[in-house]
Structure 1
Amino acid sequence: MSKPSVQVVAHRGMGQRFIQPDAPPENTLPAFAAGWKITKACELDVHLTKDGQVIVIHDDTTDRTTNASWIVRDRFSAELRSLDAGRWKSQIWAGTRLPLIEDVLDSMPDDCELFIELKDGPQVVPPTAEIVRQSGKAARVVFISFDIDTIALAKQEMPDNDCLLIVVFEADYDRGGWNVSYDEGPGFRTVTKAYVEDDLVALVKQYGLTGIDTSFAVPPSLITRLATEKLRSVVWTVDDPSIALDMVHLGVNTITTDRPGPVRDTLIAAGYELR
């Protein structure tokens, strides 16, 4: 019996400071080009600029990955794109710019996919969805978000696309169970509650979502339940290839990682086909 195919997603392309010191800086065009050479999918994060452009950056401020300390939503796209988004990683990447989402879509190879994390609340959804539609590559885009309202709107805007709620699990040793966290409501308030499998699955179904993107510390029974319900299971950020293999043995469909090369090689060596 053949093993199921598995997807490996390069987290922010490539370039996490401590995981890939020689790789391009995260969430830049060189990072995505490097990621797509290793695997068939990359993940990125988007925020809305002051002039309504969709820019690719993880944080809501620029200080960690550029040469300025700005709030993204308070600046025009031209200002943000003038920043140096590479020097923080290495002098060889000095002058690398923050891309707009259309720049990344234009650069995506025909056989690859893009996971777009919607970071900026529901307001980032309509312009992002329109750009994705206009790109002609909508069939190869997956939307993810920690915020239930944001990802629900993404599913309304893009009903044919996979839209996944990102959740975080933590063991509750006092209670002997799990807690689950995600964002909801004005201000993207993080809610943490005792994990009840039926309730989480019902939440996903209520909004017509296609699965869950979860931290890799996850109740094993949930992965089985998602498969039974024909819902997609993605785990992040799995940088240890042996843990990635354990996750896939458990039934996870997709692994998001800062080390796509070693994870890919381990899964292939174990007999899994990558898609």
Structure 2
Amino acid sequence: MFRERLAQDAVRIQEQFDLVLSALDDIEVTRAMAYATQGGKRLRGFLVLESARLHGVDEAQAIWPAASIEALHAYSLVHDDLPCMDDDDLRRGRPTVHVKWDQGTAVLAGDALQALAFELCAHPNAGNAEIRAEMALTLAKASGAQGMVLGQALDIAAESAAEPLSLEAITRLQAGKTGALIEWSACAGARLVQADPEPLRQYARALGLAFQITDDILDVEGDAEKAGKRLQKDADAGKATFVSLLGLEAAKTRATDLVDQACTALEGYGSKAETLKDAARFVIARDS
């Protein structure tokens, strides 16, 4: 059920992007935006849509924040791939935006995708004014200097630190860099009906950390062709990871424990949460 729903949601989100982006001028930067929003697992968008289904929210409403978080995630990848950041030439098995176009176009495409994320989140079809304001406010916090950007800044600082980061420091870094957007996505369904998001927040925090630990494991054991990107960058740079600090087997055990915690957080929803539980199990079973 989960894999089918993930695939169906990915198609639905792509359709939404096609609709929204087709209304823009056909110029290089909008072509780069469209390129950057293609492919990927769409896990964050899925979490929005599935948490919305959990709360009885119609897809016609939930698709707007689902596309919003995927636009914001795409912007983060475009900028993260730039030479001044991670300097990657491959993303999702294709040339990165700055390689296919140029750095200026990549910067502008990322900027435009970030703005588009908030435009989609605040769309009139996404809910009443109070709901849209709350969604936009929480997305700003999750994506900025209290969330994703904070995590990225800590990651950059770690590259020139005198000593490798501790386990506590890496956990804090990844709670921002990866976890903040996953948390926002999972909590979206509750916020769309102004319900308590706390169970979904607990689920997402465990899920997000398990996701990053699995990324570190795949960076060691993974297949670059399946991953669609260059692997072992952190090891080559001498950066501390969950694997380097815990060891490979202990990292796998920690990820499994976190998935158990994520599933436990959803017990109050009963059988309606089975697909979200399957999503947590998928996070540590994936090969890319």
Q: TM-score of the superposition, structure 2-length normalised?
A: 0.28
Q: Which has the higher helix share?
A: 2
Q: Which has the higher strand share?
A: 1
Q: TM-score of the superposition, structure 1-length normalised?
A: 0.29
